Amino acid sequence: MIKVIFFGLFFTLLLYSPFVGTAALNLSELLDPASLSHRIFVELRLPRVLLGFMAGASLGLAGLLFQNIFRNVLMTPYTLGVSSGAVLGAGIAIKLGLGTLFLGFGAVTLFGFVGAATTVLLLVWLSRYLKRAEHESLLLLGIALSFFYTAALMMIFFVSSFIESHMLMRFTMGSLSVIGYKEPLIITASTLFLLAGMWIYRYELQLLALSDEQARLKGVNTEKVTLILLLISSVAIAALVSLTGPIGFVGLVVPHIIRLIYKRDVSKLILPTFLFGGLFLVACDTVARSVEFGSEVPIGVVTSLIGGPFFIYLIIKGR
Amino acid sequence: MIKLTNISCGYENRPILKNVSFSLAKHTHLTIFGLNGSGKSTLAKAICGLIDYKGSITINGEELRTLSHRERARRISYIPAKIELFEQYNTLEEFVLLGRYPHKASFQNYTEQDHHIAREALKTMKIDSLAARSLHTLSSGQQQMALIAQALTQKSEIIIFDEPTANLDPANSLAFALQLVSLREKGISTILITHDLHLGHHMKAPVLFVDNGTVEYFADPTLFFSDDSLQHRYAVTFSHRALGVVYD
């Protein structure tokens, strides 16, 4: 019953979401293809809701994956510095003034993708030097990487012009602003790819979540499975962060709430996390667009305002 | 048959086992004794492929290293002395069902037969009434029984028990001892690592004593359980009337 009310509430917000925004829609004109309201609704609002949903689903799934593979609830692509890697990549592209398009993508997106993907590969490579039981050290490695990236970004800020700094600042805040369906559909594809990967490997994940030893004793090739799942998630997260900028803490909050509601093992949480991740981010975005601050509040700011205190709560709770 | 030849292994630069060799015929039992830190669990972990080793371990003539992870799990199961699990929300039945993983085809669901085998194992260990409970709500003794049920579900040729009675009350220890004998009768080779001399004595099977990473004794139990032998190996005096579960 709680699940029905919970999901019902968020689903209502999902339906309400495309009608919220700075520009008021004239509902009577919505069905008229020539009207401005129709164009705003179809070309701006609906793609944004789709992007928000898929972005939230990706972040939630990646959080669930990282937490179970590394058996630590604080592990997410965001806390491990993957998002910071994307920001640095984007920062370099902005500073270099690269506007060249490659296969229809801006340099900022491509560099962001490279930054995020490199960070995941770096973490996978560094984790080989850790003892099996020392996954906490991986978190420290992620934090160290984040510090390094932030310092490098500060250097870029320092030598940047006012306009470059402003562009960079907006990117670091995260945004779901989008025109048309190209970006939302790419993120939909990468999210479904991640969902399929986790679903296919759900029994391996179930064993990995118990302990590395349990998984290996039951015949799971833990190194191989971990690497495959991390690579799939790194593609999804790198694609996402390079398009939207960092959106913090969704990967931390969503799996935790789902675990609390369902009280089931990871193999049964994959679909609920996908669904709730999407609904949660759309809800946050709806809030961000409803608050009047002259312009909308950046989505990354909203999620971090919710997620930051939650992160502290998790640490204090000791899990 | 399992055969170990010149097994040496350890952790990082700390060697634990030095040139351990022994073999165990099919359908037999071996009890491994040894002082704390002598290398008993390390030996079990090497056999299960949890740690790298030098030397050779073969099962029915097949070198263990050449087997896939699943093939190895179909031949050997290991019940560690203690478990620390991150995942809290598996029910007992779901947890025991995971023993069927090495028998399941890749990317396939568990079959109805797998579920049936898991439920039978729960009944055998007399914990079927707890089937729907989450693992974290069980006591350490009940978790121990769950691990044993999971190993039974795995249906491997060899089962290694690492101090299985450490968390069990006397009644469950006795039930476990009966289970151990019945496993042997079913044709499963069992290796028991324990400090429980009564239990080892009850098994009436070969004894291996590990001392400082080497095999110090590997022979018939009669000689091992003599007063002089025990006093020599454990450096304490034993009383035959000491409190403990009487398995016989």
A319, pLDDT greater than 60: no
For the domain that residue A172 is a member of, what is the CATH number?
A: 1.10.3470.10
Q: Which residue has the tokens 């999804």?
A: A236
Burial of A62 per CB tally in 10 Å (0-12, 13-18, 19+): buried
| Residue, of A26 and B185, whose pLDDT is higher | B185
CA–CA separation, A286 vs A241, rounded Å? 20
Residues of chain B falling short of pLDDT 70: 240-244, 248
Q: For A211, which of B74, B85, B134 is closest by C-beta distance?
A: B85
Conformation bin of residue B55: beta by default, left when phi > 0, alpha when psi is -120 to 50: left
Contact between B135 and B92 (Cβ < 8 Å): yes
ipTM, two decimals, is 0.90
Q: For B128-150, what is each residue's pLDDT tens digit?
A: 999 999 988 998 888 888 998 99
Domain residues for the domain of A92 are 46-317
Could you tell me the pLDDT band of residue A53, with boundaries at 50, 70 and 90? very high
B147 contacts chain A (CB < 8 A): no
Tell me the pTM.
0.89
Compute the nearest-CA separation of B236 from chain A (Å).
Answer: 35
φ/ψ of B219, rounded to 5, equals -165, -165
Q: Is residue A153 in a domain?
A: yes
A26 contacts chain B (CB < 8 A): no
In this structure, the strands spanning B54-59 and B2-11 are antiparallel
Q: Residue type at A88?
A: L
Give the pLDDT of residue B151: 92
CA–CA separation, B192 vs B148, rounded Å? 12
User: B87, A209: Cβ pair inside 8 Å?
Assistant: yes
DSSP state of A235: H
Q: Which two tokens mark A36?
A: 């401005």
Q: Is residue A26 in a domain?
A: no
Q: Is residue A274 in a domain?
A: yes
Q: Which two tokens mark B62?
A: 């097949």
User: B69, A213: Cβ pair inside 8 Å?
Assistant: no
Q: For A214-239, what is each residue's pLDDT tens digit?
A: 999 999 999 899 889 988 888 888 88
* Contact pairs from chain A to chain B, CB under 8 Å: 71
Whole-number CA gyration radius for chain A: 20
Residue of B nearest to A198 (CA): B107
How many domains are contained in chain A?
A: 1
User: B101, A264: Cβ pair inside 8 Å?
Assistant: no
A74 contacts chain B (CB < 8 A): no
Best interface-test mutation with A: which of B64, B65, B89, B160 has the largest number of A CBs within 10 A? B89
CA–CA separation, A73 vs A307, rounded Å? 13
Report residue A14 CA to chain centroid gap.
18
User: B87, A206: Cβ pair inside 8 Å?
Assistant: yes
User: B99, A68: Cβ pair inside 8 Å?
Assistant: no
Average pLDDT of the segment spanning A34-39: 86
**Is the Cα torsion angle B31, B34, B36, B37 positive or negative in sign?**
negative
Q: For A216, which of B50, B83, B98 is closest by C-beta distance?
A: B50
Compute the nearest-CA separation of A218 from chain B (Å).
Answer: 5
User: A213, B50: Cβ pair inside 8 Å?
Assistant: yes
Q: Which two tokens mark A101?
A: 């398009």
List the end-to-end C-alpha distance of chain A, in Å, as a whole number: 27
Average pLDDT of the segment spanning A63-86: 88
User: B85, A200: Cβ pair inside 8 Å?
Assistant: no
Q: Residue type at A221?
A: N
Q: Is residue A32 in a domain?
A: no
Best interface-test mutation with A: which of B14, B69, B77, B85 has the largest number of A CBs within 10 A? B69
Q: Is residue A25 in a domain?
A: no
Compute the nearest-CA separation of B99 from chain A (Å).
Answer: 6
The closest alpha carbon to A95, from A170, A164, A167, belongs to A164
Average pLDDT of the segment spanning A205-211: 94
User: B74, A213: Cβ pair inside 8 Å?
Assistant: no
User: A264, B89: Cβ pair inside 8 Å?
Assistant: yes
Q: Report the CATH superfamily, name and number, of domain B2-82+156-234.
A: P-loop containing nucleotide triphosphate hydrolases (3.40.50.300)
User: A206, B74: Cβ pair inside 8 Å?
Assistant: no
Residue of A nearest to B76 (CA): A217
A191, pLDDT greater than 80: yes
The closest alpha carbon to B10, from B34, B46, B36, B35, belongs to B46
Give the pLDDT of residue B242: 62
Could you tell me the pLDDT band of residue A123, with boundaries at 50, 70 and 90? confident
Residue of B nearest to A264 (CA): B89
Compute the nearest-CA separation of A220 from chain B (Å).
Answer: 6
A275, pLDDT greater than 90: yes
Q: For A3-15, what is each residue's pLDDT tens digit?
A: 888 888 888 888 8
- CA angle at A308 for the pair A302 and A310, rounded to the nearest 5°: 110
CA–CA separation, B152 vs A138, rounded Å? 36
